[in-house]
Amino acid sequence: MLPRLLTDENVWPALVAGIRSTDPAIDVVTVQQVGLRTMRDDIILDWAARENRVVLTHGSKTLVPLANVRLA
């Protein structure tokens, strides 16, 4: 089973396009597509958890610590 992905707004569009072109079966959406652009990281993580999605981001300074708290 392929992971369901959510890309943060800082992920390059070319990367998203590359994922989609590599395997069209990969379910990838962007925060822009689902109405989460400019939302706080905790809101993005909540949405991703409810939708059973893995978040791809370049924002490791803020999103990763929040994700670690959620896992603890």
| pLDDT tens figures, 34-59 | 999 999 999 999 999 999 999 999 87
Question: What is the C-alpha to C-alpha distance for residues 3 and 43, in angstroms, rounded to an integer?
Answer: 20
In this structure, are strands 54-56 and 27-30 parallel, antiparallel, or unpaired?
A: unpaired
pTM, 2 dp: 0.88
Q: Which residues contact 16 (CB under 8 A, 6 or more apart)?
A: 7, 28, 30
Give the model's pLDDT for residue 62. 82
What SS3 state is found at 55? strand
